[in-house]
Structure 1
Amino acid sequence: MRLHRNLCFSVIDGLTLIFNEGQYADKVIQQLLKRDKRWGSRDRAFVAETTYDIVRWKRLYAEIAEVKEPFDRDNLWRIFAVWATLRGIKLPDWKYFENTPSRKIKGRFDELSKIRKFKESIPDWLDEWGEKELGKNIWSKEISALNEQAEVILRVNTLKTTKEKLQSELFDLDIETKFLPDYPNALKLKERTNVFQTDAFKNGYFEVQDASSQRVAEFLNVEPGMRVVDACAGAGGKTLHIASLMENKGQIIALDIYANKLNELKRRAKRNGAFNIETRPIESTKVIKKLYDKADRVLIDAPCSGLGVLKRNPDAKWKLLPEFITEIKKTQQDILQQYSKMVKSGGELVYATCSILPSENQEQVEKFLASESGKDFKFLKDHKVLSHQTGYDGFYMALLKRQS
């Protein structure tokens, strides 16, 4: 591979914003890709994937390069040189790469790869926390899997098309996909490509949604004609899936504390042809209280640490703090206590997170069931999804029934 100056400069600029200014990697990369209209798909892929790669392995590369935060531009070039050297890329004769110790880089990599916190490039506290909750063996496998690049999975919108028709339409555009066993509405891209530019996306034939995430709506056991509440809907990925499973019949009430996310859901719902969704921002407790004992199904896709989705959000490793996990667990339990009251007698509730930590998952469910609010609920089943077992995001979901 030959390195091109303008592409490398873009990567360095992006890393400056992500590491030194705390900006989110996905937003930074979106902006970087708009820099030069002359860039082809390979150029854009280089900028995006190299930036994500260096973000993912920041601790390991910085340790090898012997630099510490905050990184000045010279330090970032040293980190870039580590990235390139470890990939066998010949460094060009640029001043930024003068005196790069290629042999030493490879030796340091071999040495540090024996220590998990460096090998997997994670903060000390996170390495300790993960091992404490999951055990040494499972944590080692899981964090390794979560450091792999996420695959692109589509969820077919069955309100508008079928899996077979969509696969054929994408094939005509030279976009090859394959079916995933046990995931009824999923197509996996064989190669990464920008599917958002296709007419199939613009016409609402699919959404990009990880296979593990697609499990959640199916776990809710919805049927056409029901009244369903998606209590933490966000921009509505699971809401739209629920709408397709309900065949646009019945009512879905999408709640969230952020009105701007619900506005995005409205736009997506229009594109998807999902007409049975009503959005309600949670501006006070009255919004929840009005729905007490009214819902056949309630989905609580709770805010969480997001440790199960590090594949697609590698910068979360560097933004996450132990205090946040402690606080979010209080929020999760409070949401369970209050929002569960929306389930009517005989109705069902799914509590879900994109975390792999038992303290955010089954322990929260056990705590709820042992509480006054949870005494009328019966545990039916749960499903723990670990990335090293599936290759997809880490998730948890539990199905509870409110007894008559």
Structure 2
Amino acid sequence: MAKRTDRGLENREIVLDILMEVLERGSFVHMVLNQALDKYQYLDKADRAFITRLTEGTLEYLIQIDAIINQYSKTKTQKMKPVIRNLLRLSVYQILYMDRVPDSAVCNEAVKLAAKRRFEGLKGFVNGVLRTIAREKGTIAFSEPWLELSLPQWMYEMWERQYGAGTATAMGKAFLKDKKTTVRCNLQALSRELPGISPEEAWERTAESLREQGVEAAPLGDGLFNLSGYDRLEELSAFARGWIQVQDASSAMVGRLAAPKRGDYVIDVCAAPGGKSLHIADLLDGTGMVEARDLTFQKAELIEENIRRCGFENIRAVVMDALWEDEESVEKADLLIADLPCSGLGILGKKPDIKQNMTQEKMKELADLQRQILSVVWRYVKPGGRLIYSTCTVDSMENEENARWFAGNFPFEPVDLRPALEPRFPVESLKEGWIQFLPGIHPMDGFFISVFTRKNA
């Protein structure tokens, strides 16, 4: 039992270090968490799952947690020592949302960790705040919907204006639900090992491989699966062999709506880590070429890693700034993918630190950057070719407003998406060439896709 308790303290200390890196130094949670899980590979599956849930849960509910701490502490979170405020945060999450560990054990472990981090003088403070919250947690209530959903007030009110209170609430609730990993089958990779295999057979063979390793693989259709019950993705045979690629159902819509033709030359101007580029290369069935570009060598290497793992030969990674005009690419692309840097508000459930880092000012800057990039890259599209503009956000300024601006200022016309998406998604915007997917309304991440054809004149 003592060993289990010591392990619990170590796990909480790992989470504390992750939160310090993310909340005090501004690092990205998915990167810091992955690095920690790689570093502590010796931990068993249950410990790694605990670390993941406690980290992500604390960040998901951070706004709500801080409001609760501030209600029961005379010293407000922003005035506390960084170690103490993050120790309280991860402990409050356990008290409110994790049932397996008794509240008394959570309080005791927090006191031990405060002492271990040389805050002996604050042990009583930590203990008092946590035990009061544990005692009164049944009476805690929130008068504001944004607090109930643990969203920044400005963000909830923006969605309320754009979509209405019902949809804003549905999105907030969706972001707080457990997230499964969505993967897409790479038919080229399976065909290389199993020549002549049909798409349906490939999907079934992939599901069998995953289940053989104890992974629950729930089919979503069109070769997509929701995965759960695995520890490290890299340990799955289907992943190592390139049979699957992590990609949400909304992101996979880009390839389907792009509808590449055999032999097409495709440019993806902001491609890392390469999910959409690989999907289009897969749809090209070994023909044509996809040039997956991104700004830095590090991002290009991420794409290269996926290319090597999947074994595709009709895709290459290139380091290139999308704002730099590449004269050699003018009117060369049959298809151009512009999945551009955005506020990421559609994937808050997967990257909850965006809630703390994003501001309305940054969103305006990103919307302007998107226009700058589109003003450069449109020239790469052949007359009659297609351009896809997409983002992983749910902000109208970055999405439909920019799509309408693009259609009004460049020689492109929107593609009617009704034949491709009706009756599954019967929305008015399809005839204008765009669709906005909303978490809680659609069974996928928040995502925006618009499709244009370059005029021949």
CA–CA separation in structure 2 for the residues paired with 1:144 and 1:59: 14
In 2, are the aligned partners of 1:306 and 1:355 still within 8 Å (CA)? yes
Question: Deviations 1:81-103 (Å, cap 9, x if unpaired)?
Answer: 32222234412245626331123
Deviation at 1:288, TM superposition (A): 2.7
In 2, are the aligned partners of 1:154 and 1:207 still within 8 Å (CA)? yes
Amino acid at match of 2:21: L
CA–CA separation in structure 2 for the residues paired with 1:131 and 1:252: 39
CA–CA separation in structure 2 for the residues paired with 1:95 and 1:354: 37
Deviation at 1:38, TM superposition (A): 4.0
* Structure 2 equivalent of residue 307 of structure 1: 345
**Aligned residues with identical type, % of pairs:** 25
Structure with the largest fraction of helix: 2
> Structure 1 307/94 Cα, relative in aligned 2: closer, same or farther at 3 Å?
closer
Instruction: Say if 2:187 is the partner of 1:147.
Output: no
* Structure 2 equivalent of residue 332 of structure 1: 370
SS at match of 1:204: coil
Mapping for residues 63-102 of structure 1, pairs under 5 Å: 63-66=67-70, 67-69=76-78, 71-72=80-81, 73-87=83-97, 88=99, 89-90=101-102, 91-92=104-105, 93-94=108-109, 96=111, 98-99=127-128, 100-101=131-132, 102=134
Deviation at 1:389, TM superposition (A): 1.9
CA–CA separation in structure 2 for the residues paired with 1:335 and 1:185: 32
> Structure 1 46/117 Cα, relative in aligned 2: closer, same or farther at 3 Å?
same
* Structure 2 equivalent of residue 52 of structure 1: 56
Mapping for residues 200-219 of structure 1, pairs under 5 Å: 200-219=238-257
Supply the RMSD in Å over aligned alpha carbons: 2.1
* Structure 2 equivalent of residue 249 of structure 1: 287
Instruction: Say if 2:35 is the partner of 1:31.
Output: yes
CA–CA separation in structure 2 for the residues paired with 1:166 and 1:355: 30
Deviation at 1:13, TM superposition (A): 2.2
CA–CA separation in structure 2 for the residues paired with 1:159 and 1:226: 16
- Give the TM-score normalised by the residue count of structure 1: 0.92
* Structure 2 equivalent of residue 159 of structure 1: 188
* Structure 1 equivalent of residue 145 of structure 2: 116
Instruction: Say if 2:299 is the partner of 1:261.
Output: yes
**Unpaired stretches in structure 2, ≥5 consecutive residues:** 71-75, 112-125, 191-201, 417-432
* Structure 2 equivalent of residue 176 of structure 1: 216
Amino acid at match of 2:77: K
Amino acid at match of 1:24: F
> Structure 1 202/94 Cα, relative in aligned 2: closer, same or farther at 3 Å?
closer
Mapping for residues 235-384 of structure 1, pairs under 5 Å: 235-283=273-321, 288-371=326-409, 373=410, 375-380=411-416, 381-384=433-436
CA–CA separation in structure 2 for the residues paired with 1:76 and 1:346: 55
CA–CA separation in structure 1 for the residues paired with 2:56 and 2:258: 34
Q: Count residues in correspondence.
A: 396
SS at match of 2:329: coil
CA–CA separation in structure 2 for the residues paired with 1:273 and 1:284: 26
Deviation at 1:327, TM superposition (A): 0.7
CA–CA separation in structure 1 for the residues paired with 2:391 and 2:452: 15
* Structure 2 equivalent of residue 232 of structure 1: 270
Amino acid at match of 2:413: F
CA–CA separation in structure 1 for the residues paired with 2:398 and 2:322: 25
- Give the TM-score normalised by the residue count of structure 2: 0.81
CA–CA separation in structure 1 for the residues paired with 2:79 and 2:39: 25
CA–CA separation in structure 2 for the residues paired with 1:153 and 1:95: 35
> Structure 1 36/325 Cα, relative in aligned 2: closer, same or farther at 3 Å?
closer
Amino acid at match of 2:455: Q
Deviation at 1:239, TM superposition (A): 0.5
In 2, are the aligned partners of 1:82 and 1:105 still within 8 Å (CA)? no
CA–CA separation in structure 1 for the residues paired with 2:64 and 2:277: 39
CA–CA separation in structure 2 for the residues paired with 1:391 and 1:189: 15
**Unpaired stretches in structure 1, ≥5 consecutive residues:** none
* Structure 2 equivalent of residue 385 of structure 1: 437
